[in-house]
Amino acid sequence: MEKETLLTQVTDRAMSWITGNYDAETKKEVRLMLDCDDKSKLIDAFYKDLEFGTGGLRGIMGAGSNRMNIYTTGAATQGLSNYLKKEFAGLKEIKVVIGHDCRNNSRKFAEISADIFSANGIRVYLFDSLRPTPEVSYAIRKLGCQSGIMITASHNPKEYNGYKAYWNDGAQVLAPHDRNIIAEVNRIKSTDDIRFEGNKDLIEIVGKDLDAAFIKRVKKLVLSPDVIERHSDLKIVYTPIHGSGIMLVPDALRAVGFTNIISVPEQDVISGDFPTVVSPNPEEPAALDLAIRKAVETGADLVMATDPDADRIGTAIRDGEGNFILVNGNQTMLLCLYYLMTRRDELHLLTGREFVVKTIVTTELVKDIAVKRGIEIFDCYTGFKWIAEIIRKNEGVKEYIGGGEESYGFLAGDFVRDKDSVSACTLFAEIAAWARDRGKSMYELLQDIYLEYGYSREVGVSLVRKGKEGADEIEAMMKNFRTNPMKSLGGSPVVLMKDFAKLEAMDYVRNERVLLEMPTTSNVLQYFTEEGTKLSIRPSGTEPKIKFYIEVKGAAKTRESLEEAEVAAGRKINAIRRELGI
């Protein structure tokens, strides 16, 4: 009976798209879903509205209220316009930046958004073609804008697109603006509420000048220009995986002094179909296959790849035998923060005001490095908007030198307020040159970190559960973990459990509850064991997934014993996965 009621509801909603003020192509697509015997596509397309969440929109492209299309994009832009006009009513002119990546329909959604903003009397700076997300964040501050949007679904499969909303500090929107924008978007009840007819006089095309200004700021981050000059011929394979990194990353690498940038021609082709990969996600090993093949062929030193909107970086380095191995997000952040803290110390640049940031699901090893250097470290929720908030709150008082998260995002400077693969690529190459200058490989540098601070291995596991049934299943799983908390992990008793939905921790050693100091609640559970294992569980905010983050600790005194520590950590991780049924 419940399924019949749902089908009736989605059919009624779909019929309103057939009879409403929608274009012929959209109506045709809806009619095909209605006429199909299998109603699963119809249900998934209409069982709810595509939610404008705290980070914007993200969904599969197509007709329907739960899809990314010109109408859901239009409603988001109209709602944001309405809120901007209320929030900045005292300004003579409200300004926004619009960027987009390589995805199918990204340019269309960007231009439609430009029309809607301008129809509402808002000045628009629209990039002339695809650009990295970090450049949009930078442009908002550079051009004195009140907001900005980026049309992208980041690293999602080709069927997806999305809409990221930014505030005047160049960061993705936070409370209270996120909730207020959501309320305005929810007030858009009809396509008739959306002002699609743009004012071309209010739309300005931007591009090359901002590119040059952005790269100039990236150059200022370099700490070892003399080292780069000595090793300017470092062989670097870079691939944008068909995305927007092609617009800035190679030029930025050359600008800081590297001369031997090797491309992967097949993946320099800009395409929303991502023809050479199953997924354009640098977290996926297969996404770097072509680049690694090119590196082997050319004798390159390292490999770097960026996702479609070029905010995340994936890398590969040579191991002790000269074979390429992938560097995960935690390791990339370890290398970057270790270098930034160590090099600043060497140059006598540490004043006691510096700080770094990591997310709660990221390796705890970063904390040990920061503490030893006397550098303050902040923990925050997953998502760079939280890192940006910490930067904003400490601006003018403390100096941000770097921060990141396990999901391949890093930010080295504060002129961008989102993760930035452009500066991350130049920094990673600089670290490789610095290591070589000391007679070491990147692999040996990573080993040195483990030998000094202790071995750590992290694994992320995502369970995909699509559609309404999947969302219900994920909700039930989180409820079960709260109702039946883990008592041990990998044979080690749990000594601390944190529930960020309640902002409460249970200390099992002292048998007491402790309040968690965070800016808001979040649907995240964490377990910490006596041996130092950490397990984090959270539903994704942008994808139909529930994510498990496992970190186990080990110890090694020599490079040779690191292999034993790695094997032992692998066994423990596998045991924990069996306990969790993942």
Same domain, 502 and 419: no
What pLDDT, on the 0 to 100 scale, is given for residue 541?
72
pLDDT tens-digit series, residues 214-224: 999 999 999 99
Around Cβ 341, how many Cβ atoms within 10 Å? Answer: 22
For residue 540, pLDDT over 80 is answered with yes
The Cα 407–Cα 325 span in angstroms is 17
Same domain, 181 and 270: no
Instruction: Express as a percent the part of the chain with pLDDT over 70.
Output: 99
What pLDDT, on the 0 to 100 scale, is given for residue 466?
82
Same domain, 370 and 293: yes
Of 431, 453, 475, the residue that ends a domain is 453
E strand or H helix at 83: helix 70-87
For residue 364, pLDDT over 60 is answered with yes
Q: Tokens 């944001």 map to which residue?
A: 80
Of 434, 453, 472, the residue that ends a domain is 453
Q: Give residue 129's pLDDT band: very low, low, confident or very high (50, 70, 90).
A: very high
Is the pTM higher than 0.85? The answer reads yes
For residue 2, pLDDT over 80 is answered with no
The strand pairing partners of 547, in sequence order, are 462, 538
Same domain, 252 and 391: yes
Same domain, 43 and 90: no
What pLDDT, on the 0 to 100 scale, is given for residue 434?
98
Around Cβ 25, how many Cβ atoms within 10 Å? Answer: 11
Same domain, 485 and 423: no
Q: Tokens 């999947």 map to which residue?
A: 470
What pLDDT, on the 0 to 100 scale, is given for residue 88?
98
Same domain, 375 and 293: yes
Bridging pattern class, strands 488-489 and 492-499 = antiparallel
Q: Which amino acid is at 153?
A: A
pLDDT averaged over the chain? 95
Same domain, 228 and 374: yes
Please list, in sequence order, all residues whose beta carbon lies within 8 angstroms of the beta carbon of residue 413, skipping any fewer than 6 positions away.
Answer: 217, 218, 220, 221, 400, 420, 423
Same domain, 267 and 231: yes
pLDDT tens-digit series, residues 183-223: 999 999 899 999 999 999 999 999 999 999 999 999 999 99
pLDDT tens-digit series, residues 287-314: 999 999 999 999 999 999 999 999 999 9
User: 141: domain range?
Assistant: 50-206
Same domain, 495 and 552: yes
Cis omega before residue 544 (within 30°)? no
What pLDDT, on the 0 to 100 scale, is given for residue 542?
67
Write out the E strands in 29-132.
56-60, 95-100, 123-127
CATH label of the domain that carries residue 519: 3.30.310
Domain count, the chain: 4
pLDDT tens-digit series, residues 76-100: 999 999 999 999 999 999 999 999 9
For residue 53, pLDDT over 90 is answered with no
User: Which candidate in 65, 113, 118, 154 is catalytic?
Assistant: 154
What pLDDT, on the 0 to 100 scale, is given for residue 71?
97
154 catalytically annotated: yes
Q: Tokens 């993946």 map to which residue?
A: 267
Comparing CA positions, the residue from 518, 524, 332 lying closest to residue 432 is: 332
The CA–CA distances, whole Å, from 560 to 316, 496, 566 equal: 21, 33, 11
Q: What is the DSSP string of 310-360?
A: S-BEEEEEE-TTS-EEEE-HHHHHHHHHHHHHHHHHHTT---S-EEEEEET
The Cα 222–Cα 220 span in angstroms is 6
Q: Give residue 544's pLDDT band: very low, low, confident or very high (50, 70, 90).
A: confident
The Cα 280–Cα 243 span in angstroms is 9
The Cα 382–Cα 329 span in angstroms is 13
Among the residues of 353-498, which ranges form H helices?
Answer: 365-373, 384-394, 421-437, 442-453, 467-483
The Cα 55–Cα 266 span in angstroms is 32
For residue 1, pLDDT over 60 is answered with no
Comparing CA positions, the residue from 416, 424, 423 lying closest to residue 136 is: 416
Both tokens assigned to 130 = 């695809």
pLDDT tens-digit series, residues 334-351: 999 999 999 999 999 999
For residue 174, pLDDT over 60 is answered with yes
What pLDDT, on the 0 to 100 scale, is given for residue 470?
86
3-state helix, strand, coil in the chain (%, to 5): 45, 20, 35
Q: With contact defined as beta carbons under 8 Å apart, do 97 and 168 qualify? A: no
Same domain, 448 and 508: no
What pLDDT, on the 0 to 100 scale, is given for residue 230?
98
Of 206, 221, 240, the residue that ends a domain is 206
Please list, in sequence order, all residues whose beta carbon lies within 8 angstroms of the beta carbon of residue 7, skipping any fewer than 6 positions away.
Answer: 39, 43
Same domain, 393 and 413: yes
CATH label of the domain that carries residue 65: 3.40.120.10
Q: What is the DSSP string of 237-289?
A: EEE-TTSGGGGTHHHHHHHHT---EEE-HHHHS--TT-TT-S---TTSGGGGH
The Cα 459–Cα 406 span in angstroms is 10
